[in-house]
Chains A and B, each alone.
Chain A
Amino acid sequence: MGILNIFGNSDKHNQVEEKKIEDNFGNMVDSDVHLVAKDMLTEILDLMGFFNVVKVVKYEDNFVSLDIKGDDMGRIIGKEGSTLQSLQILLRSILSKKFQKPINVVLDASGYRDKREESLVALAKEMAEEAISTKEVVILRPMNSWERRIVHLTLQDYTEVKTESIGQSQDRKVVITPV
């Protein structure tokens, strides 16, 4: 735990411990969702063998956004963000169960999402231009909801194309159609 101490993390761990309150069913009744989220993610990363620092970026009643910093970022993010996305899915599920209400969790790793958003915006524009110039439908690779949303938002002001999502679950992708 020496590594964590350098960042003063152990003190924060203690704070979280103190604020955890459970009802008779062992469910969390506390409103400090962000502290429990941070604590849980730190524990998961520790057990994965990644000794990273988790920072709470923003939080509201049913929402928390966390950022991971440290080594092994490539592994934590995974191919096309798959590991980061999986951690986010698990944390949402775990916290929603603990607090017995839907809790939205957004995870970032060293600004990965900003960089990813930039490249998705660039891709969306490029593919829209291609659809316009070739007058042909462009189908993008399967993307998760966050990625598809960025594509749709980027192209909503493009009057020469329309976008829609097709396919089911893991195979869902954006189609850009020239109009």
Chain B
Amino acid sequence: MKDLLELLTKALVDNPEEVDIKETVGESIIILEIKVSQDDVGKVIGKEGRIANAIRTVVKAAAAKQGKKVTVEIITK
């Protein structure tokens, strides 16, 4: 799940080297935290949250295949 999120986030931002993803795996839930450069926050959120919602939907579909739930949080450095 972390690899997927890393691929998507790095491809969306201007400063891929500053992308940091933390994954906490619980029994039935995975928590993913994306840290990006301040300048890139808009890139991963998008107009009216369109990009952030799309990221969540895609990651959720992947997690559902493993029978898990997932939350994705976006954090500014």
CA distance A78 to B51 in the complex (A): 17
Q: B-facing mask of A121-157, CB < 8 A → 1, else 0?
A: 0000000000000000000000000000000000000
Count, chain B residues at interface, CB 8 A: 21
User: Assuming the A-B contacts A47-B7, A93-B51, are A86 and B58 also in contact, with contact meaning beta carbons closer than 8 angstroms in the complex?
Assistant: yes
A44, B58: Cβ atoms closer than 8 Å: yes
**Does A82 lie at the interface of the complex (its beta carbon under 8 Å from any beta carbon of B)?**
yes
CA distance A14 to B62 in the complex (A): 26
State the Cβ distance, A106 to closest chain B Cβ, in Å. Answer: 15
Main DSSP-derived SS at the A contact region: helix
CA distance A50 to B66 in the complex (A): 11
**Does A21 lie at the interface of the complex (its beta carbon under 8 Å from any beta carbon of B)?**
no
CA distance A64 to B57 in the complex (A): 22
State the Cβ distance, B2 to closest chain A Cβ, in Å. Answer: 9
Main DSSP-derived SS at the B contact region: helix
**Residue of A whose beta carbon sits closest to that of B53:** A86
Contacts of A94 in B (CB 8 A): 8, 11-12
**Does A76 lie at the interface of the complex (its beta carbon under 8 Å from any beta carbon of B)?**
yes
**Residue of B whose beta carbon sits closest to that of A26:** B16
**Does B75 lie at the interface of the complex (its beta carbon under 8 Å from any beta carbon of A)?**
no
B58, A90: Cβ atoms closer than 8 Å: yes
B65, A90: Cβ atoms closer than 8 Å: no
CA distance A169 to B16 in the complex (A): 29
Contacts of B27 in A (CB 8 A): none
State the Cβ distance, B27 to closest chain A Cβ, in Å. Answer: 19
- A-B pairs with beta carbons under 8 Å apart, 21 shown: A44-B7, A44-B8, A48-B4, A48-B65, A76-B61, A78-B57, A83-B57, A83-B58, A85-B54, A85-B57, A86-B54, A86-B57, A87-B58, A89-B51, A89-B54, A90-B8, A90-B12, A94-B11, A98-B11, A169-B48, A170-B48
The chain A residues found within 8 Å of chain B, CB to CB, are 40, 43-44, 47-50, 72, 75-76, 78, 82-83, 85-87, 89-90, 93-94, 97-98, 169-170
The chain B residues found within 8 Å of chain A, CB to CB, are 3-4, 7-8, 11-12, 43, 46, 48, 50-51, 53-55, 57-58, 61-62, 64-66
